[in-house]
Structure 1
Amino acid sequence: MEVNLVSIITPCYNSEKYIKETFLSIKAQTYTNWEWIIVDDCSVDKSVELIKSFEDSRIKLFIQSDNQGAAHARNLALNNAKGRFITFIDSDDLWLPNFLETTVNYLISNDEDLVYTSYKRVDEDLNHALDDFIAIDKIDNNRILYNCPIPMLTSIYDRSKIGVIEFPDVDLREDHAMWILLLRKIKYARAIKDSLGVYRMRSNSLSRNKLDIAIKQYNVYKDFLKMNIIKSLYYTFFWGLNGLKKYGKF
């Protein structure tokens, strides 16, 4: 583990349209002690060719021989990470230039374990889509059950304190399941109110079958956390309610 090195984790699948913008936002960071670990999950476009063209020795590219999904890709990256700090960015999202400097300094100066920031919400062409998502301070292992306010995009944690938390094999809800596991090891996640990330709301994610996602979320409670049916339904209800609030539907 290298002192104060940030390991940036990115799964990539058919991201040729956006991956260069993601790279440029990372390269523009005022904090420069980072490595970017990209795992390509069998892209059939020019993603790999583009990534190989990025001239930066801090980039480490792994290419999977078969498509195994984002959770497996992130775990492969985590297992090859050398940094003290772990953070995530998807291959179509962006950071503001001071994201890493602000969050790393916060973790070190406040002796905290995990911090995340607010972020901007834009459409595929980076036009304003919704009001900024505002980070909620002190999310603990009880609050995280009601929904997942901690985004991959603007979260960073201190591996020297927590260790590496892998993503469980939970269909499409692996990020929520991972945060549940992580928050069992620390008191809470801290929040920075500044919007330091840019989340691209793509049409394919917005049109995702909501009932199917709700069922998968229910399975997080029932199968992954081994809750009874009543508890699983209870938390799924509040997960759905909080989701409506998040996207301004309630």
Structure 2
Amino acid sequence: MAVVIPLFNGAAHIEEALAGVCAQSAPPQEVIVVDDGSTDDGPDRARRFAGRLPLKILQKANGGQSAARNLGVAEACSDWIAFLDQDDVWHPQHLANLRAAADNGPAQTGWAYCDVSVVDAAGRLLAPSLLHRRPGRHPKQSVDECLAQDMFVLPSAAL
């Protein structure tokens, strides 16, 4: 499994995001941070994790999160890709739970996603189970259901 993190001027958050990757009970085989033209020291802060994670840092001119994610996916060797935004933090079981959901789903499962909680900068829980407060049923079970209802799947919550 690969983790792809787009990074743009994220020095204030990238270390916490990467610490959350380090804390995973099912660690990834590769972590790809795509520096999307940062002008702060975020990439240097990310490099500090090189001994703790199988880390690759790519650099590109600023083109936005989607372009950074696409470059990370193109460079990944893993069959499964998990996205993590620079200012998000995963619970320690995040990757294990998503992988279990994918492995235990129908034979043609191509992706899995989970609920999210919103916390403030001090770590106080502001909104638990944000996904279940949205309209529609979760988890979605078909492409038709995905297209007919509000998807509201955040990149950091998908595999």
TM-score range, shorter chain: 0.7 to 0.9
2:112 — aligned with what?
Answer: 115
User: Which deviations, in whole Å up to 9, do the C-alpha atoms of 1:119-154 show, x marking residues without a partner?
Assistant: 111123332222321351225434444533221111
Stretch of structure 1 that moved more, 48-57 or 90-99: 48-57
Q: Deviations over 1:171-218 (max 9, x none)?
A: xxxxxxxxxxxxxxxxxxxxxxxxxxxxxxxxxxxxxxxxxxxxxxxx
- For 1:128, the equivalent position in structure 2 comes to 125
Residue of 121, 143, 155 corresponding to 2:158: 155
1:69-128 superposed Cα distances (whole Å, 9 cap, x missing partner)? 111111100100111111101011011111111221222233432211111111233322
Aligned position for 1:48: 43
Residue number among 86, 89, 95 corresponding to 1:94 in the alignment: 89
Gaps of 5+ in 2: 133-137
- The whole-number CA distance in structure 2 between the counterparts of 1:40 and 1:31 is 25
Query: Any conservation in 1 of the 2:119–2:127 contact (CA below 8 Å)?
Result: yes
Larger radius of gyration: 1
Q: Secondary structure of the residue that 1:40 maps to in structure 2?
A: strand
Greater share of helix: 1
Give the number of equivalent residue pairs. Answer: 150
Q: Distance in 2 between matches of 1:139 and 1:92?
A: 29
Per-residue CA shift, 1:41-69, capped at 9, x if unaligned? 111111011111112351110011x2111
After superposition, the CA RMSD in angstroms is 1.8
TM-score (norm 2): 0.85
Q: 1:33 to 1:45 in 2, by over 3 A?
A: closer
Higher relative contact order (CA closer than 8 Å, sequence separation 6+): 2
Partner in structure 2 of residue 13 of structure 1: 8
CA distance in 2: counterparts of 1:9 and 1:84, whole angstroms: 13
Greater share of strand residues, 1 or 2?
A: 1
Separation of aligned partners in 1, 2:112 and 2:47: 31
Q: Which one-letter code corresponds to 1:75 in the other structure?
A: N
2-structure distance, mates of 1:44, 1:8: 23
- Work out the CA distance in 2 between the residues paired with 1:14 and 1:144: 33
The residue that corresponds to 1:76 in the other structure is 71
* Helix, strand or coil at the partner of 1:20: helix
Q: Distance in 2 between matches of 1:143 and 1:107?
A: 18
What SS does the aligned partner of 1:115 have?
coil
**Equivalent pairs: percent with the same residue?**
23
